[in-house]
Amino acid sequence: MSNIVILGSGMGGFGAAYRLHAEGIAPVMYDRNGHHGGHTSSFRYNSGFLFDLGPHISFTKDTRIQDLFADSVDQQFETKPLNLNNYWRGHWPLHPVQLHLNGLPEDLVVKVISDFVEERQAPDRPVKNYADWLLSSFGRTFAELFPMQYTRKYHLTTADNMSTDWLGPRIYRPSLEEVIRGAISATAPNMHYITQFRYPTDGGFVSYLKKFVPLGNLKLNHELVSIDPRAQQLNFSNGHVDHYDALVSSVPLPDLIRMIQGAPQDVVDASRRLACSTCVIVNVGVNREDLSPCHLSYFYDDDICFTRLSFPHMLSPHNVPPGTGSIQAEVYFSDKYKPLTGSPQEWIEPVIKDLHRCGLLRDDDRILFSNALLLRYANIIFDLDRAAALKTVHGYLDDLGIAYCGRYGDWGYMWTDESFKSGENAAQRALERLVQSQVR
Ligand SMILES: Cc1cc2nc3c(=O)[nH]c(=O)nc-3n(C[C@H](O)[C@H](O)[C@H](O)COP(=O)(O)OP(=O)(O)OC[C@H]3O[C@@H](n4cnc5c(N)ncnc54)[C@H](O)[C@@H]3O)c2cc1C
């Protein structure tokens, strides 16, 4: 029997386990954490509040994955229309703002529309980076005040230092008619690429992994610290050693490369150029539930410390004690562009202060719970270094036969369904490689 090892027990790791299970293989899975789920972990605290590790909803259009997730929770999930809004200098436009200018200052709306028209009438702008794309899509006033500003808070770099290959349907490019309609009417249609979502009724987002957990021989509290690729040996911080015939890894690439004995310097340097955001998540439980009409809110202003808020009690009522509400704030940093100094806990007070400032918390609200957690790897930053650095790193791993997967193995802007499928594909590659080596 060949030993196929999976590193990580998130969506990528379990996607790989699921693919191997179809071949009758129960892989060994290792995770450094004492729980499975990775970025899709959920935690219920003694106070009764449940928070996911960052806001997670499932909006996959892939019916196979929808069915797998639904089966994992025995069809016990919520289906809801997604409500999104934005906060900008005291205004709360609906999402996306380019379709909902109604209610913003009149002079601003006029300037946005006239810039938009001017841009559409000008010769096509060559698009060398994300800033060019934004200017050509929206005109200067809107691009600079909204998406470019949001980019600095969410991607921690400037739009002219970013590529456009991550965009897909993420940012809606409106017609002039749609912009005008949204400026005149308060009820312009929702054109977001996600219109509805599913979420497990009980246990938080991690419940979507419930039925996958038994598919692998999962060893928690096993932190990989080094790999000897020649001997095909894995060394863990607790002294455990394992040998692999095939290896699937969802470990973030910069960490993975650092652990590989004998990795060439140019590969190590390339892995250091890969940029990712780090997120401080601040969870807050409040003694009332009518906190917001929306599931997610985006914040543009520099003087508001968080970039995004979500409201877990709106996803499932079982995420909170009866009659209460919850807020999850995301405050972003990046080792490469804006390093976090100090501890995550230091952000609890500023977040609560800003929740008051933007009017979401009232003076008479009681905070029933608060904590702060660190997501060391949050969103891949598609800066202009990414493509070349990634090619070097992936090329090296391909040569070693390590099948990388998931958001931080593929190093892409991937949602849970994509990470799961990436795990399946990596397992397939590992199987093919095993067959080839046995033939040789
Ligand atoms: C803030 C935020 C919000 C998101 N919202 C959504 C959403 O609403 N919907 C959606 O579909 N997707 C969402 N995503 C994306 C989603 O989280 C990812 O696509 C998915 O969880 C990635 O899974 P993964 O298995 O690739 O990585 P991970 O979940 O990170 O799994 C990797 C695993 O490897 C383990 N590991 C790392 N290093 C070691 C080591 N040295 N030794 C042993 N184990 C190790 C980790 O502990 C972890 O369990 C969001 C992501 C973020 C950051």
Which tens digits make up the pLDDT trace of 338-370?
A: 999 999 999 999 999 999 999 999 999 999 999
Query: Which atom of ligand 1 lies at the shortest distance from residue 236's CA?
Result: 42
Q: Of 135, 169, 184, which one is at a domain's C-terminal end? A: 184
* Cα 161 to ligand 1 centroid, rounded to whole Å: 25
By the 8 A CB rule, do 420 and 14 touch?
yes
Query: Which atom of ligand 1 lies at the shortest distance from residue 12's CA?
Result: 25
pLDDT digits (tens, 9 = 90+) for 180-219: 999 998 887 766 678 899 999 999 999 999 999 999 999 9
* Residue with CA nearest ligand 1 atom 7: 56
CA atoms within 13 A on the CB side of 192: 18
**What does the mean pLDDT of the chain come to?**
96
Query: Which atom of ligand 1 lies at the shortest distance from residue 408's CA?
Result: 26
Assess if residue 408 is contained within a domain: yes
* Cα 432 to ligand 1 centroid, rounded to whole Å: 25
* Residue with CA nearest ligand 1 atom 23: 11
**Phi, psi (rounded to 5 degrees) for 29:** -120, 135
* Residue with CA nearest ligand 1 atom 53: 378
| pTM for this predicted structure | 0.96
Assess if residue 116 is contained within a domain: yes
* Residue with CA nearest ligand 1 atom 6: 56
What range does the domain containing 109 cover? 96-184
Q: Of 165, 184, 203, which one is at a domain's C-terminal end? A: 184
Distance CA 18, CA 28 (A): 12
pLDDT in tens, the chain (440 residues): 689 999 999 999 999 999 999 999 999 999 999 999 999 999 999 999 999 999 999 999 999 999 999 999 999 999 999 999 999 999 999 999 999 999 999 999 999 999 999 999 998 889 999 999 999 999 999 999 999 999 999 999 999 999 999 888 788 888 899 999 999 988 877 666 788 999 999 999 999 999 999 999 999 999 999 999 999 999 999 999 999 999 999 999 999 999 999 999 999 999 999 999 999 999 999 999 999 999 999 999 999 999 999 999 999 999 999 999 999 999 999 999 999 999 999 999 999 999 999 999 999 999 999 999 999 999 999 999 999 999 999 999 999 999 999 999 999 999 999 999 999 999 999 999 998 887 77
Does one domain contain both 172 and 229? no
| CATH number of the structural domain spanning residue 398 | 3.50.50.60
Does one domain contain both 113 and 158? yes
* Cα 347 to ligand 1 centroid, rounded to whole Å: 22
Distance CA 85, CA 357 (A): 17
Does one domain contain both 167 and 226? no
Task: Of 414, 402, 328, 338, give the one whose Cα is nearest residue 371.
Answer: 328
Report which DSSP code applies to 129: S
For residue 236, the cross-strand partners are: 224
User: Roughly how many angstroms between the first and final C-alpha of the chain, as a whole number?
Assistant: 17
Task: Of 374, 350, 301, give the one whose Cα is nearest residue 54.
Answer: 374
Assess if residue 163 is contained within a domain: yes
Q: Which of 31, 39, 418 is the best mutation target for the ligand 1 pocket, counting ligand atoms within 8 Å of the beta carbon and taking the most?
A: 39
Assess if residue 411 is contained within a domain: yes
* Cα 78 to ligand 1 centroid, rounded to whole Å: 22
Number of domains present in the structure of the chain: 2
Cα–Cα distances (Å) from 16 to 93, 390, 399, 400, in that order, read 41, 22, 20, 18
Does one domain contain both 253 and 130? no
Does one domain contain both 267 and 390? yes
Does one domain contain both 100 and 180? yes
* Cα 11 to ligand 1 centroid, rounded to whole Å: 7
* Residue with CA nearest ligand 1 atom 1: 54
Q: How many residues does the chain have?
A: 440
Written as six digits, the tokens of 124 are 């096509």
Look up residue 416 and give its amino acid. T
The radius of gyration computed from the CA coordinates of the chain, to the nearest angstrom, equals 23
For residue 285, the cross-strand partners are: 326, 369
Query: Which atom of ligand 1 lies at the shortest distance from residue 14's CA?
Result: 25
pLDDT of res. 383 = 98
H-run or E-run covering 373: strand 367-375
Query: Which atom of ligand 1 lies at the shortest distance from residue 33's CA?
Result: 47
* Cα 412 to ligand 1 centroid, rounded to whole Å: 11
Q: How would you classify the pairing of strands 233-236 and 241-243?
A: antiparallel
Assess if residue 389 is contained within a domain: yes
* Residue with CA nearest ligand 1 atom 41: 224
CA atoms within 13 A on the CB side of 339: 4
DSSP 303-360: TSS-SEEE-GGGT-GGGS-TT-EEEEEEEEEBTTTB---S-GGGGHHHHHHHHHHTTS
Q: Of 128, 162, 184, which one is at a domain's C-terminal end? A: 184
Does one domain contain both 231 and 180? no
pLDDT of res. 356 = 98
Query: Which atom of ligand 1 lies at the shortest distance from residue 279's CA?
Result: 1
Does one domain contain both 394 and 261? yes
Assess if residue 331 is contained within a domain: no
Assess if residue 325 is contained within a domain: no
By the 8 A CB rule, do 28 and 217 touch?
yes
* Residue with CA nearest ligand 1 atom 44: 31
* Cα 417 to ligand 1 centroid, rounded to whole Å: 11
Q: Please list every protein residue whose CB sits less than 6 Å from any atom of ligand 1.
A: 7-13, 30-33, 38-40, 54-58, 223-224, 250-251, 255, 279, 330, 375, 378-379, 406-408, 414-416, 419
Assess if residue 395 is contained within a domain: yes
Q: Which residues 6+ apart lie within 8 Å of 359 measured at CB?
A: none
Q: Which of 5, 416, 417 is the best mutation target for the ligand 1 pocket, counting ligand atoms within 8 Å of the beta carbon and taking the most?
A: 416
